[in-house]
Amino acid sequence: MSIERTLSIIKPDGVKRNLVGQILSRFEKAGLKIVATKMIYMSRREAEGFYAVHSARPFFGELCDFMCSGPVVVTCLEGQDAINKNRELMGATNPAQAAEGTIRKDFSLSIGENTVHGSDAVETAKVEIAYFFAETELVN
């Protein structure tokens, strides 16, 4: 285990339902540090680029529409084993299969509107953080 950085996104359903504070608080309580955070409106193009790996999936259009349907909160988290720790806090993609006490189990509405995004590996985390934050925006 090493100190890692990961990208979290609180998706439009989470922001709309006033869950930003509660979700960021879960990260902090788990020992993850916020090294950058901001609220943005993702453009359709940004959403398509961010989820490019899923472009052939049947839900791609719906996913991109959803991600730019309202503001999102993008956050860079840092800590011991941050990538897996964040994925554990999030729970399974489908909230119906998410473990008790996870963000998706507690808050998510459906497999599409599942409240949070989290990077899944060191390489993707690097790309995803750089997608939204300049190096100078990340606190050391």
Q: Does 120 bind ligand ADP (CB under 6 A)?
A: yes
Give catalytic status of residue 117 as yes or no: yes
The C-alpha atoms of residue 33 and residue 139 are separated, in whole angstroms, by 10
64-93 footprint of ligand ADP as x/- string (CB under 6 A): -----------------------------x
CA nearest 23: which of 116, 129, 139? 116
**Cβ 111 to ligand ADP shortest distance, Å:** 5
Closest CA to 40 of 60, 80, 19, 12: 12
Report, in Å, the least distance between residue 127 CB and ligand ADP.
14
18 in a labelled binding site: no
Catalytic residues: 117
